[in-house]
Structure 1
Amino acid sequence: MTQPVSPPRDSAPKAPSAGEPPAWRAVLFRADVRTLSLLGVLAVLILIGGITKPDQFLDTRNLQLVLTQASVIGVVTVGMTFVIISGGIDLSVGAIVALASVWATTVATQEFGFAGILFTAVLVGLGCGLVNGVLIAYGGMVPFIATLAMLASARGLALQITDGRTQIVTVDGVLDLGERDSYVLGVPPLVLVFAAVTVIGWLLLNRTTFGRRTVAVGGNAEAARLAGIDVRRQRLYLYLLSGLCCGIAAFLLIVLAGSGQNTNGNLYELDAIAAAIIGGTLLTGGRGTIVGSVLGVLIFTTITNIFALNNLQSDVQQIAKGAIIVAAVLVQRRTASTT
């Protein structure tokens, strides 16, 4: 009696057809190329700084200063990255930092010491973020208009609180964080906070449903809604997150400057948006990386430091930044057109 013959099995799974790599590989490839490109730009800038001002630029104190200055705007940029990925924009981050910094450095607030200053800065940031989120998510306002209104209001309130004067911090616990004695293995505390915010932001974006929902809302809000995502609540959370980052950045700025001023955070919104863009975050939403945004911050901060050491005018710095932003947008458009 003959046994039925089973059909032959393939010894190996079929490979994808040539010219059609899996989509996830293409995405990872673009991300790797973008990250390597940003690292290359940063390396070139470090090389330029080392050649033009070797004794000053490569000095440990100067490198610590660059990282410290990057920490404040870097924390703001992490929050901005989430907002832009969702398809929104936040023009009020600089004004929120100013308002939080002056509110947290009033005489009444400083009477509560270190905890009072930190709590007030974070609470003001969250409050402003809540107002932005409610107006945009539930009020139906365009993010550009809502955050522009917050920019004007927060700046005006900050000026009213300070009456145009600088508010000096007298709390030793806050001032001590800016001293070299508080450095951990040569790393300033502000840099450690920035690193912690970056790691948390990366995990939140890449390892949680919150991050996946953010990308989904930015990619196609209607499709995200049909998939069961509460788009309005997600947007509210995102502006709360941006406000939280502004509050943390305001506290770092207080430590760095030892004071609160209504002019704090000037043009932070432009710097944060620019850093996110050159880091690969699409202004139309749906794509972005925390690592790319952080590298964008480091690139801009390094450029500013090199220009300052070489006594170049600030207008030249702005021109250079503008050229970098244009180049980054052109690269984004070319990459999008080829995918």
Structure 2
Amino acid sequence: MSDSSTTPTAETPLGSTSTTPPPADTARVEAAARETAREPNPVMGALSGSMGRNAGLVLALVLICVVGTATAGDRFASVDNALTILRLAAVTGVVSIGMTFVITAGGIDLSVGAILALSSVWCTTVATQTMARDTHWIVMVFVALAVGAGCGLVNGLLVSYGKVVPFIATLAMLASARGLAEIISNRRTQIVTDIPGFAEFFTREILGVQVIIYLFALVAIGGWVLLNRTTFGRRTIAVGGNPEAARLAGINVKRHTALLYVLLGVCCGIAALMLVARTGTGSSTHGTLLELDAIAAVVIGGTLLSGGRGSIVGTVFGVLIFMTLTNVFTLNDRSISEQALLKGVIIVAAVLLQQRLASRNSTT
């Protein structure tokens, strides 16, 4: 006698179908149900998220501090040395905050060191200092910010409207800005003299901490708010994630990209002022290889080089890690070549980790 659940019989009219699926389909359905019901691993989810990345950066910074204390003793583990690290981190940190926005949007800027040098030279020319002496030192601030913003605008226009690859556009700016700085300064170091209030403002201490450290903190806080709590930040992430989808969503991708490079240029101008106040000079050699330190700090901080994800907090930790590492090497009389080698290893490790986490997220 045939099974009425699988074949038509007198009790099962012709044209009716069985309610029991084939065994192969049943197995697939059950496997899919088990996969859906599987509880996500909260530990792996946390580690692959921003909290896990920042925790890893904190751990790395703590380990470097432990090594510094063990090898350099009280020379490293002192308040004065900590403030020295923060002062050194301030200039690179301000530039790195601006770089975070550009890389989050899928771009890159190799000219930040040259823009900083040009800003420092232009704001310390004899004409600028004379005008600042006759009026107010704020003139030097305006000149530095205007030069930085202007260079950033040129980069942005070339990349967005000129459709020049960011690597090539900013590489051209690197050569041009550095060359112009050498022409203006005649390859000489320009000394800041008799500008009432300029150096005093940037080098003064509030509660034992120099103003430039507070400026770094303010730029970092402002950058975090701008990236995470404003429409501008959401558009930056959208442009980096998928420019075409962002354009179809109504975002003016070209204008937004240009604004991002202007923002980075302004950060270079701020960093130039901090460096001029700290050293008392404007020079075409300022900011040499700064672009490498800034990009490295951004990558270490968890910002994707391909765009679509950025972290201001991670960038701050990345800057502190590199500056603390440099300080440890200096206190232990290690060579600059060894520092560069270790930095290269750290950058490669960070990129490989990014790729692994990205591939894991794409398969889940």
Taking structure 2 as the reference length, what is the TM-score of the superposition?
0.85
Instruction: State the partner residue of 1:236.
Output: 258
Q: Which amino acid counterpart does residue 313 of structure 1 have in structure 2?
A: S
Q: Is it true that 1:307 corresponds to 2:339 in the alignment?
A: no
**CA distance in 2 between partners of 1:18 and 1:249 (Å):** 52
Please list the CA deviations of residues 222-264 of structure 1 after superposition, one character each: whole Å capped at 9, or x if unmatched. Answer: 0111111110011011011010101101101111111111000
Cα displacement (A) at 1:19: 3.7
Segments ≥4 residues shifted beyond 2 Å: 16-23, 25-29
**CA distance in 2 between partners of 1:123 and 1:28 (Å):** 42
Q: Which has the larger radius of gyration?
A: 2
Instruction: State the partner residue of 1:6.
Output: none
Which of residues 18, 30, 34 is equivalent to 2:53?
Answer: 34
Please list the CA deviations of residues 134-172 of structure 1 after superposition, one character each: whole Å capped at 9, or x if unmatched. Answer: 111111111111111111100000000111111111124
Instruction: State the partner residue of 1:251.
Output: 273
Please list the CA deviations of residues 274-317 of structure 1 after superposition, one character each: whole Å capped at 9, or x if unmatched. Answer: 10001001111001100001100000000111111111100000
Q: Which amino acid counterpart does residue 180 of structure 2 have in structure 1?
A: L
Name the Cα RMSD after superposition. Answer: 1.8
Change (3 A) 1:269 1:20: farther
Instruction: State the partner residue of 1:116.
Output: 139
Please list the CA deviations of residues 27-48 of structure 1 after superposition, one character each: whole Å capped at 9, or x if unmatched. Answer: 8951111000000000111111
Q: Which amino acid counterpart does residue 174 of structure 1 have in structure 2?
A: F
Q: Is it true that 1:212 corresponds to 2:234 in the alignment?
A: yes
Q: Which amino acid counterpart does residue 216 of structure 1 have in structure 2?
A: A
Instruction: State the partner residue of 1:272.
Output: 294
**CA distance in 1 between partners of 2:327 and 2:201 (Å):** 22
Q: Is it true that 1:176 corresponds to 2:200 in the alignment?
A: yes
Structure 2: 5+ residue stretches without partners? 1-34
8 A Cα contact 2:103 2:306, kept in partner: yes
8 A Cα contact 2:46 2:52, kept in partner: no
Instruction: State the partner residue of 1:11.
Output: none
Structure 1: 5+ residue stretches without partners? 1-15
Please list the CA deviations of residues 55-89 of structure 1 after superposition, one character each: whole Å capped at 9, or x if unmatched. Answer: 21122221111101100010000010100000001
Q: Which amino acid counterpart does residue 148 of structure 1 have in structure 2?
A: L
Instruction: State the partner residue of 1:47.
Output: 66
Which of residues 59, 64, 74 is equivalent to 2:83?
Answer: 64
8 A Cα contact 2:303 2:311, kept in partner: yes
Cα displacement (A) at 1:205: 0.3
Cα displacement (A) at 1:98: 0.3
Instruction: State the partner residue of 1:145.
Output: 168
Paired residue total: 321
Identity of paired residues, percent? 56
Q: Which amino acid counterpart does residue 307 of structure 1 have in structure 2?
A: F
8 A Cα contact 2:202 2:277, kept in partner: yes
Which of residues 107, 113, 118 is equivalent to 1:99?
Answer: 118
**CA distance in 2 between partners of 1:59 and 1:136 (Å):** 45
